[in-house]
Amino acid sequence: MELLKRNIHMDRTRAEAVTQFTLEDDVNIPENKPDVSALNLEKGEIIIDEIKPSADSVTVRGRLAYAVLYHTMEAGSSLVVLEGRIPFEEKVNLQGAMPTDTVTVNGEVEDLTVGMINSRKLNIQALITMTAKVEELYDEEAPVALHGDEKVEYRHQPMEIAQIAICKNDIYRLKEEVVLPSNYPNIFQILWNTIALRDVEFKVMDEKLAVTGDVHMFVLYEGEGEDHPIRSFETTIPFSGMLECHGCREGMLPDIQYRLGQQELAVRPDFDGEERTIGIELVIDIGIRIYEEEKLEIISDIYGVSKEIEAVTHRAHLRRLLSKVTGKTKVTDHIRVSGGTVMQLMHSEGAVALEQQSTVENGILVQGSLQVKVMYITGEDEAPYGCTQAQIPYQYTLEVPGIMPEDMGDIRAEVEQLQVTMLDGEEMDVKAVLCFSTMVFQSVPVEFISDINVSELDSGKMSSLPGMVAYIVKAGDNLWNIGKKYYVPVENLRSLNGLESDELKAGQKLLIVKGG
């Protein structure tokens, strides 16, 4: 007798570790750059150069790439950009990792602080959060049919499952050109830029993914002219396109992570030869996981009638989609500027820090802060530009009916809208909409029959069973368990006792005839 099985494709995180560390360096201003009068903006990103796994750990080598925008009192440009790198090598304890594993590592700059030591030296400190994972694909073998001549009884159990259909990494390249409005001066040089993705969505289609979203761009530049006027320009660029994805079909469930990778901005001449066009080339790194929901019937139990059948089982964990949920919350607060007066706002940006998530009744409670950064004009000659930062706390519950602690999914948090307005020369009003999304899978533990052993019936055991018996149903009895105990087919019990359903009541009498 042969047990026929079907592979169910699964994915899992076999090992995961999160660590934090601090990078610090004192940086001298290069000789070709002027003195620092006041600091304005800073930004940083982690670049991973090498990932070297070993037993229960992984060594990561990389760099913190930073940029600092500062004001100078020296003749020439009033705003100057300083760029640099701080290398690092960090060993992360990753229990269960092996030298042959493929480890993915993501590094995020949680906090970047730049301070002036003097006009020719800056201190840079950064708090880095690094996440290392070993993810793998594997198959669970589900018993779905029997092939053989032995007379056996078996029953099916219906299940709803979500199996992984596609798991891969890809990139989406985006090229756009933006022309400055006519009331803006030509570009002499770009000093600072910030690029952010918003409202990015993926839709599964046959053999491809549809991608839509917005690119939000801020540019601070020196204009052409004798006095090189400083100008800021912001715009939002919608985009859409297709990404080839072999094997996907409409109706599948996408669980897709993305982040902005390589980005390039270049000033290009317009049709009149004037420097008024900004060319943008972006690479979006995409982690694609697409799941397929399916109803499956597995053989959950078996017993022999003419032979002794022993089922060998093992514990498996399948999953089904519990909820794909998106939620939004509003955040409001006031920011007070200490020292100086705000004459005009130039630029504001925000990032969501997700600091804690926990399951509550029918939901996921997320807590953290909205990190807001605002650049403004002061009107003061010695420090004409200022920058202020604030952390605004939030908490929000994503509604997920029926969720249990073990069902927690990865939550994506984004700033959907951010509006900063002046209340007076020292206070600003901040209004934001934060968006949270997650796909929650419910773990489905199941005992799978992995093998069956067939042997002759024990003559002593069979002789101890009566040929005919009047059986009184007990609480918890069902036709399957009774038939299994007496080696009688369920259908025989049903027909012999004139039962129209398998429902039994305690105290009910059944006639059982061995072999009949």
pTM as predicted: 0.86
Where b means 16+ CB within 10 Å and e means fewer, 468-503 reads: eeebebeeebebbebbbebbbbbebbbeeeeeeeee
Contact 437, 411 (CB under 8 A): yes
User: Reduced to 3 states, what is the DSSP secondary structure of residue 272?
Assistant: coil
Contact 296, 335 (CB under 8 A): no
Quick one: pLDDT band at residue 414, thresholds 50, 70, 90? very high
Tokens of 162: 């979500």
Specify the pLDDT at position 308: 87
Per-residue pLDDT tens digits for 232-268: 999 999 999 999 999 999 999 999 999 999 999 999 9
Cβ neighbours for 104, distance < 8 A, ≥ 6 positions apart: 51, 132, 133, 135
pLDDT at position 344 over 60: yes
Give one word for 316, left, alpha or beta, with left for phi > 0 and alpha for psi -120 to 50.
beta
State the Rg of the chain over Cα.
33
Per-residue pLDDT tens digits for 16-73: 999 999 999 999 999 999 999 988 889 999 999 999 999 999 999 999 999 999 999 8
Per-residue pLDDT tens digits for 275-325: 999 999 999 999 999 999 999 999 999 998 888 888 999 999 899 999 999
Give one word for 305, left, alpha or beta, with left for phi > 0 and alpha for psi -120 to 50.
alpha
Specify the pLDDT at position 502: 82
pLDDT at position 516 over 60: no
Percent of the chain surpassing pLDDT 70: 99
Q: Which residues pair with 106 in a beta bridge?
A: 131
- C-alpha torsion sign, points 284, 263, 109, 64: positive
The DSSP annotation for 77-141 comes to -SEEEEEEEEEEEEEEE-TT--TT--EEEEEEEEEEEEEEEETTEEEEEEEEEEEEEEEEEEEEE
- CA 200 to CA 292: how far, in whole Å? 22
Q: What is the mean pLDDT of the chain?
A: 92
Give the mean model confidence (pLDDT) for residues 469-493: 91
β strands within 245-307, DSSP E: 253-269, 275-304
Where do the H-state alpha helices sit in 442-504? 459-463, 479-486, 490-496
Cβ neighbours for 417, distance < 8 A, ≥ 6 positions apart: 431, 432, 433
- CA 326 to CA 315: how far, in whole Å? 33
- State the amino acid at position 311 in one-letter form: A
Tokens of 409: 């999914």
Which of 216, 284, 207, 220 lies closest to 252 in space, CA to CA?
207
Query: Could you tell me the CA-to-CA distances from 57 to 49, 53, 88, 89, 95 in Å, in that order?
Result: 17, 6, 16, 13, 7
Contact 358, 364 (CB under 8 A): yes
Per-residue pLDDT tens digits for 191-239: 999 999 999 999 999 999 999 999 999 999 999 887 788 899 999 999 9
Residue 500 Cα to chain centre, angstroms: 51
- CA 197 to CA 281: how far, in whole Å? 13
User: At residue 53, what are phi and psi to the nearest 5 degrees?
Assistant: -80, 150
Specify the pLDDT at position 391: 93
